[in-house]
Copies of this chain bind each other. A is one copy, B any other.
Amino acid sequence: MDNFNFYSPTFFAFGKERENEAGSLTKRFGGSKVLIVYGGGSVVRSGLLDRVKASLEKEGIAYVLLGGVQPNPRSGLVYEGIELCKKESVDFVLAVGGGSTIDASKAIAAGVVYDGDFWDFYCGKPIENALPIGTILTIAAAGSEGSPDSVITHEDGMLKRGASGDAIRPKFSILNPALTQTLPAFQTACGITDIMAHLYERYLTNTVEVEVTDRMIEALMLTLIHEGPRVIEDPDNYEARANIMWAGMMAHNNSCGVGRSQDWNSHNIEHELSALYDCAHGAGLAVTMPAVFTYVCQHDIMRFAQAAVRVWGCQMDLYHPEVTAKAGIEALRNFLISIGMPKNFAELGAKEEDIPYLVNTLCNGNGRGGSISGFVTLDEEDCSKIYQLMV
């Protein structure tokens, strides 16, 4: 196990009706004038936005509104939010929505207290300061409610890039599983796929002797395998949604990723797809992961075989471990298809002829020098072959 720091100081308020504590929690963590960031109409239609406003008003907290966050959130809205915060002297950013809304809120919170262009943080500059952030989560997926990470797409070139820093960890996150019950099955499944990807990205490591985090990752994967089909079958299953929601947070606050090298190649390869086609991130990951894992499997057959046996219930073929390893990848693919995820470029709306563009942006964009690194270093030829596997 490698040396590491672990710091996850977010206060989590989990369960039914906890959104009614938005006001008291904002006050507790120092907010007096709040920017409420949200996405589309569902937050308004469901009455959630009104409940949040009422909770703030009850505590005498003023607010301004910024709606319209899109999936794969864009730089334009971030710039707009930063200006609004400065103009209105906002001292707290409250995200009401999913990963996109939270990530946009993080970018705004960091940008407000920074003299330069917020995009600098997404080009590698460390985030050292930000307005405090709170979140009210409406989809279990990105894990942004408990993470120091944010992913934004810059409209100039449609570059999708990430930034990170403890300053943008939420001060509090409200997780009410009931708020996710109105999600369409497709979005629910995209969320489950994103959580599964956060787990695989940590599972694929070159660090040896990491039994405790291996086991924890496997535990969360097993939870998704049990609860995923239940929630797709019955969208109103509060208990299944609750288990998935806590798994989603635990999958990405890094308590199960500490002390080990991680992968993140699947995320990087997918980001090009959702940036170009504006497809759902989870859907892109569903197509990406089996292709990447099939391609890199030889790098550590036993790691994939371990997942196959411990997570997917495959029999270990001791004489042919590669058979077991591949059976595990196939089981993942079948699981994702079973919950309604796409399986190839066609179902995703991606085009084979774009592969050279995807590979070039992936491997040479954002200062990369012709390859991406993780569990395995992948050059342009590797990435091209991986995209071909998805066709």
Contacts and interface: CB of A to CB of B under 8 A. Distances in A.
A255 interface: yes
Copies in the complex: 2
A6 B14 contact: yes
Contacts of A9: 7-9, 11
A285 to B, nearest CB: 21
Contacts of A259: 14-15, 242, 246
B219 A216 contact: yes
How many A residues are at the interface, by size bracket? 35 or more
Contact of A219 (B11, B208, B218): B218
A242 B12 contact: no
Contact of A15 (B4, B246, B247, B250): B4
A62 B254 CA distance: 35
A2 interface: yes
B216 A220 contact: yes
A219 B226 contact: no
A301 interface: no
A363 B132 CA distance: 47
Among A16, A209, A218, A259, the most chain B Cβ lie within 10 Å of the Cβ of: A209
Given A11-B5, A14-B258, A255-B255, A223 B211 contact: yes
Interface string A133-158: 00000000000000000000000000
B211 A227 contact: yes
A244 B209 CA distance: 11
A243 B209 contact: yes
A53 interface: no
Nearest to A177: B1
A5 B1 contact: no
Contacts of A227: 211-212
A219 B226 CA distance: 16
A27 interface: no
B6 A243 contact: no
A246 B258 contact: yes
B4 A14 contact: yes
Among A5, A6, A15, A177, the most chain B Cβ lie within 10 Å of the Cβ of: A6
Contacts of A220: 212, 215-216
A13 interface: yes
A75 interface: no
A354 interface: no
Contacts of A7: 9-12
Interface of A: 1-16, 18, 177, 208-213, 215-216, 218-220, 222-223, 226-227, 239-240, 242-244, 246-247, 250, 255, 258-259
Given A5-B11, A212-B244, A215-B222, 11 more contacts: A1-B242, A3-B18, A5-B13, A7-B11, A9-B11, A212-B220, A212-B247, A212-B250, A216-B216, A219-B219, A246-B258
